[in-house]
Amino acid sequence: MATLSFSIPDEVSEAFNRAFVDSDQNELIAEFMRKAVAEAEQQSRRQEAFRLLTERRSLRPKLSFEEILEARTEVRR
């Protein structure tokens, strides 16, 4: 198991200690870090998906408003 050392504001440390006094604080920190990693990975996937959608948007066919209405009407028949 790895050991990390980092500085946090005293008030955050004190609030954490009060809030989680009867908890396994090491396990809590590990779980918070797991969630932070998962959220960062998810955010990266979202950014990549947005980039691809934006990039591919220019490749899709361009239709006029009238063409869209006509296609929509045909599909609904």
pLDDT values of the chain reduced to their tens digit, one per residue, 77 residues:
899 998 999 999 999 999 999 999 999 999 999 999 999 999 999 999 999 999 999 888 888 999 999 999 999 98
Question: Could you tell me if residue 63 is inside a domain?
Answer: yes
Question: Could you tell me if residue 16 is inside a domain?
Answer: no
Overall pTM surpassing 0.85 (yes/no): no
Domain count, the chain: 1
If we measure between CA atoms, which residue out of 3, 60, 67, 57 comes closest to residue 29?
A: 3
- DSSP assignment letter at 77: -
For residue 37, the model assigns a pLDDT of 98
Report the alpha-carbon distance of residue 4 to residue 51 in Å, rounded.
Answer: 34
Q: What residues make up the domain containing 72? A: 24-76
Question: Could you tell me if residue 59 is inside a domain?
Answer: yes
How many angstroms separate the Cα of 36 from the Cα of each of 33, 56, 58? 5, 30, 34
For residue 55, the model assigns a pLDDT of 93
For residue 34, the model assigns a pLDDT of 98
Question: Could you tell me if residue 71 is inside a domain?
Answer: yes
